[in-house]
Structure 1
Amino acid sequence: MKAVHRRSSGARARPRAAERIELRIEELAAGGAGVGRLSGEVVFVPATAPGDLVEVELDRSARPARGKLLRVLSPSEDRIPPPCRFADACGGCDWMHVRVEAQQAAHERIVRQAIARATSLSALPSVRVHPAPRPLGYRSRARLLARAERGEVRVGYRAPRTHAVVAIDRCLVLGDEIAPVVGDLPGLLRGAAGEGDILLARGASGRPVVELLWRGQLPPAVWQRLDERTCGGAWAGARVTLDGAREAASFGDPRPVILGADGLPLRLAPGGFGQPSEEGAAVLARRAAALAHLGSSRPPHVLELFAGSGTLSVLLARGAAPAAALAATGEGAASAVAATTAAAEGAALEAAAPASFTAVELAAEAVACLRQNLGGRGLAGKAVEADADQAPIPARTDVVVLDPPRGGAPGAARAIAASSARVVVYVSCDPATLARDLGVLVRGGFEITDVEVVELFPQTSHIESIVRLSRSRRAAR
């Protein structure tokens, strides 16, 4: 379809009409947009699926060019009707219109391309994909936005590429334990002024816990309703942090609780990091532990960076000897967690139980939960409160496992490359920063042996991946 232009006949030129084009979408990009090409020029078009023929309004001022979807002229086989009535307006599930199998294929390709570009490796291991057990109703944690204006409270997610709140009364990707809370929140916040973030999670006995980070005013009635929901047993707990307040106010027990990968309850820090899916977190922990011990001929000394509350730690620490813990790193280092008797071990991990285990985490509340999760299982190890991206790698370290935030771990990557560690297991939620850090490790003498994608975020462009690296024989010599 040819571009349409308008010409001015007066002294002042009129604005040129928007350029409309037809475009075939070839693939999905990191960030969620579909990718088409116009005479070799790349055009990103959100809300499209691979194979779609679409009409778009072209914006060449952006780099790369962007297209606003006007209509789908011919849908591809990978496009499906989204099951959620809020899907078109809400920015939460940007791939709900894409077939699940196509989502997985896109995740795999994005990870592979990012790693290949950053490392300049022509050959990579095949990518193993772990599908999500449930494409809907899988989330045991969620983050929403609430805004109170002129007596109206809107609760939902941000609209794509804006700060506007798309109000919802239900969310199809939330699990049954926390889904009903969404419809309850506007009434709970009635009379409030301002806005805030709301973190939902599952707490003790499977009941909801709510973390409210509020920027504005909350009337006494809101506090009363929070007290009623926790004292009455509808919620396990709640915590409120007002902007500018020194301390948070807690009701009941606001700590999220998930079922750990070992089948035992795992406590998380209130408002802290946690994977969105309990089943997905278990798959991630099992794979990280298996890859960490893969090929071990002797019990390794294991160091975990960015350990959080211990989602991975409870499997990595199995069988570690209390007296063999690595030296503490950073300020605020804690003494080794005393262990009694080890819990019953899985055969595969028992055979490669670590000689020692040390976990490094910066958030104090997460470290407290980590110690409780290890100690409650009778697991030995050392929990160190320190900045994992700046922590030195102890000399005896054999295996380093890290699960950094979205910004990656550039400092840790440099330290690991300069260390004598033999194996690295890198868990990542961002292919770009993962690939950047892998480039450092590969140039430092490591080889990539395994690449895996765990579908923790079905219906979205977010990607969770695991990469295992081992020290090359040439570098080891």
Structure 2
Amino acid sequence: MLELEAERIAHGGIAVAHHEGRVVFVADAIPGERVLARVTDDGHDRFWRADTLEVLEASPDRVPHVWAEASVDRAPERRAGGAEFGHIAPVRQRALKAEVLRDALSRFGGIEHEVLVRAVDPALAPGVRADGTGWRTRMRLHVAEDGTVGPYAARSHTVVPVASVPLAVDALAALAPLADRFPGAVSIDLIAPSGDFAQLVVSDGERMPRGERPVTTEIVGDRSFSVDRDGFWQVHRGAAATLTEAVRDAVDADRFDPRAANLDLYGGVGLLAAAVGDRFGDTMRITSVEADERATAHAGANLADWVGARAVTARVDRFLVQLESDAGAGERARLRDATVVLDPPRSGAGREVVDRIAALRPRQLVYVACDPVALARDVGLLRQHGYELEHLEAFDLFPSTHHVEAVARLAAIV
């Protein structure tokens, strides 16, 4: 056992402490607290990992955990995972997330930039509670060998029985079969689309046949989006509307040319391309690129209101290689006038994609990111190509967790 003083929050939501000169990453502690912790991993020369067992000196920002089954009062191996900030007052949660993003931009992006993480506007997220609960419209429960249902314990693959799922929207919380058993099943998905009824899907681990994927409807403002029931969609009830507004506002109108070869990379079912189109009109030209064939098919239909919109099924890196290879002088000029929106996976766009985008020299980039370090790394790479960060907004789309979403605009500096 160690007595540790938590100093700051690291990327990943774990507090940083020191013991006899060694870094200790300790879960379930808040910076400024003194805790009694048990080391769980001492196999590294430079750091250890530990779990908080008891809070000796509590932060004024410590609150009763929003999920009793994830509380520090439980043994670490019995704490439900997925709500690692649920013991922290929401205002402090957002401040800690801002610190992580600001630090990442400094260390990996080479820039000092002020960051404010904003709560989702309640008007965009009906039913979501200010205490960091009631926001998840999609969640997965796992099934143990004996059929017991529950989330995994934090940082493990052990199924933990629970009596509640407070992060879920009310429709999913009511639907969750927490007291039932499902022998032979692997997982249970709960989905509450904004334009459809709440659904429970039991999976035995077998992949669903391509032709049998059910489709649901999501509503964002006045628009409807078709998306596969098991396809990607933003999890927070107000996330799609929040990002629609943020991306629309992030585009610099003075740099936007509706006739340019505008791009929506990692475009999914076309949510962000539609956001740009709603601002700049139905003659806007934009190509949405997505590797998932089903998502691309939905994007084609979802973007049908724009005569210049098209959806392409391709890996983004391969699409950019082909685009550069095939572009004639006229298309190269239209690419230089372009706005590029990109919403890459958690790992970020990466060097190859960043290099390919920069080679096309678009006027501006609007980058949507769910990982601070990946965003900062890509910002640093883009700065090497002469792009600078001009605009940054961050949103608390994952309350009671360490995750944060950011929307950044970078522009080519002539």
TM-score by length of 1: 0.74
- Within-5 A mapping of 1:307-346: 307-318=267-278
Once the two structures are TM-superposed, the CA of residue 128 in structure 1 deviates from its matched residue by 3.6
Change (3 A) 1:169 1:390: farther
**Equivalent residue, structure 2, for 1:146:** 143
Amino acid at match of 2:43: S
Please, which moves more after superposition, 96-105 or 27-36? 27-36
- Within-5 A mapping of 1:56-455: 56-58=37-39, 60-62=42-44, 63-88=46-71, 89-121=79-111, 123-124=112-113, 126-132=114-120, 133=122, 134=129, 135-149=132-146, 153-183=147-177, 186=180, 189=182, 192-193=183-184, 195-203=185-193, 206-215=196-205, 242-243=206-207, 246-247=209-210, 249=212, 254-260=214-220, 262-296=221-255, 298-299=257-258, 301=260, 302-318=262-278, 349-350=279-280, 355-375=284-304, 377=305, 380-392=308-320, 395=332, 396-397=334-335, 398-410=338-350, 411-455=352-396
Amino acid at match of 2:139: A
Amino acid at match of 2:267: A
**Equivalent residue, structure 1, for 2:403:** 462
Deviation readout 1:305-341 (Å, 9 max, x if unpaired): 00111221221223xxxxxxxxxxxxxxxxxxxxxxx
Equivalent residues of 2:269, 2:295 under 8 A apart: yes
Equivalent residues of 1:269, 1:309 under 8 A apart: no
Once the two structures are TM-superposed, the CA of residue 450 in structure 1 deviates from its matched residue by 1.4
Once the two structures are TM-superposed, the CA of residue 434 in structure 1 deviates from its matched residue by 1.8
2:409 and 2:195 map into 1 onto residues whose CA distance is: 36
TM-score by length of 2: 0.85
Amino acid at match of 1:279: G
Once the two structures are TM-superposed, the CA of residue 256 in structure 1 deviates from its matched residue by 3.2
Match of 2:10 among 23, 29, 36: 29
Amino acid at match of 2:204: W
Equivalent residues of 2:163, 2:179 under 8 A apart: no
Once the two structures are TM-superposed, the CA of residue 167 in structure 1 deviates from its matched residue by 2.1
Amino acid at match of 1:449: E
What percent of counterpart residues are identical?
Answer: 30
SS at match of 1:165: coil
2:283 and 2:69 map into 1 onto residues whose CA distance is: 48
Amino acid at match of 2:24: V
Once the two structures are TM-superposed, the CA of residue 277 in structure 1 deviates from its matched residue by 1.2
Please, which moves more after superposition, 431-440 or 70-79? 431-440
Amino acid at match of 2:287: T
Amino acid at match of 1:406: R
Deviation readout 1:102-138 (Å, 9 max, x if unpaired): 11111111111112211223x33x2242213432111
Match of 1:45 among 26, 51, 61: 26
Amino acid at match of 2:341: V
Equivalent residues of 1:448, 1:470 under 8 A apart: yes
1:248 and 1:158 map into 2 onto residues whose CA distance is: 31
Deviation readout 1:30-88 (Å, 9 max, x if unpaired): 11211123354321100111211112234543342222322111101111111322123
Equivalent residues of 1:33, 1:46 under 8 A apart: yes
Q: RMSD over aligned Cα, in angstroms? A: 2.4
2:173 and 2:229 map into 1 onto residues whose CA distance is: 19
Q: Which 5+ residue runs of structure 2 have no aligned equivalent? A: 72-78, 123-128, 325-331
Runs of 4+ in 1 over 4 A off after TM superposition: 245-250, 377-380
2:238 and 2:319 map into 1 onto residues whose CA distance is: 31
SS at match of 1:417: helix
1:400 and 1:439 map into 2 onto residues whose CA distance is: 17
Change (3 A) 1:378 1:247: closer
**Equivalent residue, structure 2, for 1:9:** none
Change (3 A) 1:176 1:382: same
Change (3 A) 1:386 1:116: same
Equivalent residues of 2:25, 2:48 under 8 A apart: yes
SS at match of 1:312: helix
Equivalent residues of 2:284, 2:308 under 8 A apart: no
Equivalent residues of 1:361, 1:367 under 8 A apart: yes
Amino acid at match of 2:313: E
Amino acid at match of 2:276: L
Once the two structures are TM-superposed, the CA of residue 178 in structure 1 deviates from its matched residue by 2.0
